[in-house]
Amino acid sequence: MTDLSTFPITRKWPARHPERLQLYSLPTPNGVKASIMLEETGLPYEVHLVSFEKNDQMSPEFLSLNPNNKIPAILDPQGPGGKPLALWESGAILVYLADKTGQLLPREPARRYETIQWLMFQMGGIGPMFGQVGFFVKFAGKDFEDKRPRDRYVNEARRLLAVLDGRLAGRD
């Protein structure tokens, strides 16, 4: 039986199946990236809800695993060398799960880096910019009088979508 008790996060979110990969998340745009990957790869996992309403992401137990107080985060009891591995940042989690299962990330170097390039495009461009659009169009920022921040992020999001459309045109 894998012992995860040395990880303080398991005190707040006990592992009922400590042999399975532990996912700490919430169905947000970044959260679902890890869930979709786990479903696609077919890895057995146990999910723990990190409630933003309860500010769970700021709890000492969560911060012990991810000092950046963001979901998703994972704890894999069967990490490299058979030792537990804690990991956060959705892009790093996707690469790790791809490598662990040998799925969805080519091993051939040119195609591997091409795939990582589009992952970085998502992580550094789409994710943060769409997040800003959400803030300025839908949430607290929508009431701001100065519309320049909103317009800046909307224009950048449109530009990124055009890049994505160009890449996807004519592909499955």
Ligand X SMILES: N[C@@H](CCC(=O)N[C@@H](CS)C(=O)NCC(=O)O)C(=O)O
Interface residue list for ligand X (CB under 6 A): 28-31, 52, 57, 69-71, 89-91, 123, 127
Please state, in angstroms and rounded to a whole number, the distance separating the CA atoms of residues 11 and 68.
19
CA–chain centroid gap for 68, Å, is 13
Measured from the CB atom, the residue of 10 and 25 that comes closer to ligand X is 25
**What b-and-e string marks burial along 56-81, b requiring 16 or more CB atoms within 10 Å of the CB?**
bbebeebeebbeeebbbbbbbbebee
Measured from the CB atom, the residue of 18 and 126 that comes closer to ligand X is 126
Beta strands per DSSP E along 62-114: 73-76, 85-88
Backbone angles phi and psi of 2, in degrees to 5:
-75, 135
Measured from the CB atom, the residue of 19 and 137 that comes closer to ligand X is 137
CB of 1 to ligand X, least distance (A): 30
Q: Distances from the Cα of 165 to the Cαs of 33, 118, 158, 160, 168, in angstroms?
A: 20, 13, 10, 9, 5
CB of 50 to ligand X, least distance (A): 8
CB of 112 to ligand X, least distance (A): 20
Measured from the CB atom, the residue of 52 and 144 that comes closer to ligand X is 52
CB of 73 to ligand X, least distance (A): 8
Measured from the CB atom, the residue of 10 and 57 that comes closer to ligand X is 57
CB of 88 to ligand X, least distance (A): 6
CA–chain centroid gap for 20, Å, is 18
